[in-house]
């Protein structure tokens, strides 16, 4: 090696090269980490998971509250101030109350499913966060789609298809994203969940995720082919279809209860 390269300039050059190599090595290590929780202190991982769950609960709570806000109090402006007039003013709100009750329990059902999913989650990734956000996006849409569905469910508008399409699309989007969450957390390669029961538990969870949207699509198809009111009655089959998809533990528990009663 020439003597000239052993001076201060050469030392600075070597130091810079070493710094660049260390920097790129550090970047590669960060990129290769599969879990976002590794970017934080290990003691903060549970807190970060709690933040995601609490944020999700807040979104569910706001969405389910906005359902009732869409129903306005009836007024008797220009009408005779009697109980009979008040009842007549309430009648146009009946479809809105049906829409509220129906969507209330649907959002409640998806909150329960979300609660079940994150009961197994022990780690998180960037993809899990985005999947959860997209799922919450579909939940936030529910008050709007419910308002459209309820507004056009009166006898005067019930034969319209497009308002019902908006509601069905919202349910299908929520069901599909719920299915995607189950697929992601149940994949051992993602390493985000532990303690998931074996057997048909995941298979049944995925089936239930797609069953509800399928019934709504069937209802929409009947509304298009036959007529609107008959298509809505298809939704009454939801409990019947859901009863066919049960985990073995649930069925065994029900059988044990029946035997104990006998």
Retrieve residue 98's tokens.
């049906």
Q: What is the pLDDT of residue 85?
A: 81
Q: What is the chain's Cα-based Rg?
A: 28
Helix segments in the chain, DSSP class H: 8-32, 45-69, 83-90, 94-118, 126-140, 142-151, 162-186, 201-225, 228-233, 238-243, 248-261
DSSP letter string, 144-172: HHHHHHHHT-STTTTT-SHHHHHHHHHHH
Least confident among 59-68, 122-131, 145-154, 249-258: 249-258
Q: Which residues on adjacent β-strands are paired with residue 193?
A: 121
d(CA 14, CA 217): 67
Mean pLDDT over 18-32 rounds to 48
Over residues 47-76, the pLDDT tens digits come to 788 899 999 999 999 999 999 988 888 877
Question: How large a percentage of the chain has pLDDT more than 70?
Answer: 76
pLDDT above 60: residue 4:
no
Mean pLDDT over 212-235 rounds to 90
Q: What is the pLDDT of residue 12?
A: 53
Over residues 142-170, the pLDDT tens digits come to 999 999 998 888 888 888 899 999 999 99
d(CA 175, CA 113): 11
d(CA 178, CA 169): 14
Q: What is the pLDDT of residue 144?
A: 95
Question: Which backbone phi and psi does 71 adopt, to 5 degrees?
Answer: -90, 115
| More reliable by pLDDT, 54 or 27 | 54
pTM of the predicted model as reported, rounded to 2 decimal places: 0.75
DSSP letter string, 20-67: HHHHHHHHHHHHH-S-GGGGS-GGGHHHHHHHHHHHHHHHHHHHHHHH
d(CA 123, CA 194): 9
Length of the chain: 262
Q: What is the pLDDT of residue 255?
A: 46
Q: Calculate the CA dihedral of residues 28, 33, 38, 40 and round it to 10 degrees.
A: 40
Q: How confident is the model at residue 40 (pLDDT cuts 50, 70, 90)?
A: low
Question: How large a percentage of the chain has pLDDT more than 90?
Answer: 46
Mean pLDDT over 183-189 rounds to 93
């Amino acid at each position: 090696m020439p003597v000239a390269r052993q001076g201060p300039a050469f030392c600075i050059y070597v130091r810079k090269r070493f710094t660049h190599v260390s920097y790129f090595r550090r970047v590669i290590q960060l990129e290769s980490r599969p879990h976002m929780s590794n970017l934080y202190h290990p003691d903060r991982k549970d807190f970060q998971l709690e933040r995601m769950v609490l944020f999700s609960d807040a979104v569910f709570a706001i969405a389910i509250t906005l359902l009732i806000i869409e129903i306005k109090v009836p007024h008797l402006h220009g009408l005779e101030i009697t109980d009979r007039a008040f009842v007549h003013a309430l009648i146009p709100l009946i479809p809105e109350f049906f829409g509220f009750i129906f969507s209330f329990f649907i959002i409640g059902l998806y909150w329960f499913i979300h609660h079940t999913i994150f009961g197994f989650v022990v780690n998180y990734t960037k993809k899990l966060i985005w999947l959860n956000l997209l799922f919450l996006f579909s939940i936030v849409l529910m008050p709007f789609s419910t308002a459209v569905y309820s507004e056009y469910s009166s006898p005067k508008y019930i034969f319209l298809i497009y308002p019902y399409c908006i509601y069905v699309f919202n349910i299908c989007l929520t069901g599909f994203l719920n299915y995607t969450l189950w697929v992601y957390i149940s994949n051992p390669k993602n390493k985000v969940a532990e303690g998931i029961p074996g057997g048909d538990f995941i298979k049944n969870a995925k089936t239930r995720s797609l069953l509800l949207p399928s019934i709504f699509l069937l209802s929409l198809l009947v509304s298009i082919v036959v007529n609107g009111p008959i298509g809505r009655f298809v939704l009454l089959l939801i409990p019947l279809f859901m009863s066919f998809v049960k985990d073995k533990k649930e069925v065994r528990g029900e059988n044990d209860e029946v035997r104990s009663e006998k």
